[in-house]
């Protein structure tokens, strides 16, 4: 039905778009929180990547806790050495039986429930304890203090969990790959896509939709949006901005944390993953336009997809190394052509 070369190109394009989407989802989630904090609180949060990393380590922690094992000795069985066989069962299986194994298998999704309260608390503590005092300080100092905080957080995680990445398996049922190509009428097994990446994509879509719905349809969200548009006026209305700031910060922390939790099966978490994503997320925010929520999401997916295209061998053979720098290159071009980013507004953070 199609000539072979065309099929191959379509395969390749489809595959790259898909590959880019899940990474784009992570960028979008982090950038969303960054730009939200930025637009409402006017703070540049260099520790936002650390929140993503902490989220990922929430998943690691829960998995550890769930895997605590009960050691029983089975007298009926002997090991090869003739000693009684030690049977190790995670407590959770011993107590809950099959439900326990199910929870253990699905530890990553279950970590969402675990991570929400933790990230909320972390976010609120961070805002009340530190960020609050920096609203009126120069941006340089905001950058520096959050930068310091990011180092502290990542070093603490390093000293607790070690420096090596800790792999987190996706649930068994979702650890395979889907034959997406077949779905689009392409020959079987040309375009396969891991289930978990689909889950991540859907998940980020849901979270983004949730955040937007929250901002769009609740009174609270309305005030936040008004505050992003014009902080001074909202302040003059006598609305208690302080409490809302705290909640916005907490929300952003939760969003970043969840992005981290669900990303663990795709990328084994280690202590510096936050910084790696932070730099890229900043670029995403800048490309999307500082303070623009829609811009952050659009730019997140756009850059994710472009990055994945740039890592195709065909592209790399024309522009060597392009996969390493594409995102930065785009940021530079965007900032030169459209200084306020794709959807940026006038006057945000200028001067």
Q: Residue 176, interface with another protein (CB under 8 A)? A: no
- Least distance (Å) between residue 317 CB and another protein: 12
User: Would you say 253 or 331 has its CB closer to another protein?
Assistant: 331
CB 134 to another protein: min, Å? 9
* Chain residues 19-48 in contact with another protein, contact rule CB under 8 A: 44
Question: Among 282, 292, 298, 310, which residue sits at the site for another protein (rule: CB under 8 A)?
Answer: 282
Interface positions, 302-331, toward another protein (CB under 8 A): 320-321, 324-325, 328-329, 331
Binding another protein (rule: CB under 8 A), the pick from 248, 275, 296, 298 is 275
Nearer to another protein, 87 or 279 (CB): 279
Q: What is the dihedral of CA 54, 69, 195, 26, to 10 degrees?
A: 0
338 binds another protein (CB under 8 A): no
Residue 126 has which token pair?
């961070």
229 part of the interface to another protein, by CB under 8 A: no
Q: Does 159 bind another protein (CB under 8 A)?
A: yes
Minimum distance from residue 351 beta carbon to another protein (Å): 6
Among 62, 191, 211, 290, the residue binding another protein under the rule CB under 8 A is 290
Q: What is the smallest separation between the CB atom of 345 and another protein, expressed in angstroms?
A: 14
CA gap 52, 261 in Å, rounded: 8
Size of the site for another protein (CB under 8 A): 40
Of the residues 26, 54, 215, 283, which one makes contact with another protein according to CB under 8 A? 283
**Region 5-24 residues binding another protein, contact defined as CB under 8 A:** none
Tell me how far apart the alpha carbons of residues 72 and 75 are, in angstroms, rounded to a whole number.
9
Contact code string over 114-153 relative to another protein, x by CB under 8 A:
----------------x--x---xxxxx-xxx-xxxxxx-
Nearest-angstrom CA–CA distance, 48 and 282: 10
Quick check: 63 and 269 in contact, CB under 8 A? no
The verdict on 349 binding another protein (CB under 8 A) reads: yes
Give the C-alpha separation, 271 to 155, whole Å: 7
Residue closer to another protein by CB (options 88, 346) is 346
How many residues are listed for the chain in this entry?
351
Select from 12-20, 118-126, 250-258, 343-351 the region that touches another protein (CB under 8 A): 343-351
- Residues that bind another protein in the complex, under the rule CB under 8 A: 44, 130, 133, 137-141, 143-145, 147-152, 155-156, 159, 275, 279, 282-283, 286, 290, 320-321, 324-325, 328-329, 331-332, 335-336, 339, 349-351
């Amino acid at each position: 039905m199609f000539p072979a070369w065309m099929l191959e190109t379509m395969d390749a394009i489809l595959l790259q778009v898909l590959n880019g989407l899940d990474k784009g989802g992570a960028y979008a989630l982090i950038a969303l929180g960054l730009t939200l904090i930025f637009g409402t609180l006017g703070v540049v949060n260099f520790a936002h990547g650390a929140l993503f990393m902490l989220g990922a380590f929430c998943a690691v922690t829960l998995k550890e806790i769930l895997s605590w094992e009960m050691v029983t000795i089975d007298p009926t069985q002997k090991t090869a050495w003739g000693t009684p066989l030690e049977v190790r069962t995670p407590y959770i299986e011993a107590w809950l039986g099959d439900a326990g194994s199910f929870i253990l298998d699905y530890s990553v999704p279950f970590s969402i429930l675990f991570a929400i309260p933790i990230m909320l608390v972390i976010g609120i503590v961070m805002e009340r304890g530190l960020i609050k005092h920096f609203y009126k300080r120069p941006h340089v100092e905001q950058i520096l203090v959050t930068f310091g905080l990011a180092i502290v957080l990542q070093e603490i995680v390093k000293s607790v969990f070690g420096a090596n990445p800790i792999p987190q398996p996706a649930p068994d049922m979702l650890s395979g790959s889907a034959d997406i190509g077949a779905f689009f009428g392409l020959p079987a097994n040309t375009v396969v896509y891991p289930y978990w990446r689909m889950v991540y994509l859907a998940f980020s879509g849901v979270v983004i939709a949730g955040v937007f719905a929250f901002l769009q349809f609740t009174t609270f969200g309305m005030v936040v949006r008004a505050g992003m548009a014009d902080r001074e006026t909202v302040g003059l209305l006598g609305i208690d901005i302080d409490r809302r700031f705290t909640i916005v910060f907490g929300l952003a922390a939760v969003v970043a944390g969840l992005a981290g939790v669900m990303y663990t099966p795709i990328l084994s978490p280690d202590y510096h993953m936050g910084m790696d994503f932070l730099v890229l997320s900043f670029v995403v925010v800048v490309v999307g336009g500082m303070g623009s929520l829609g811009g952050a999401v659009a730019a997140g997916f756009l850059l994710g997809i472009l990055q994945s295209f740039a890592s195709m061998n065909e592209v790399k053979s024309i522009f060597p190394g392009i996969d390493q720098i594409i995102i930065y290159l785009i940021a530079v071009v965007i900032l030169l052509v459209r200084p306020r980013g794709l959807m940026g507004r006038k006057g945000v953070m200028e001067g």
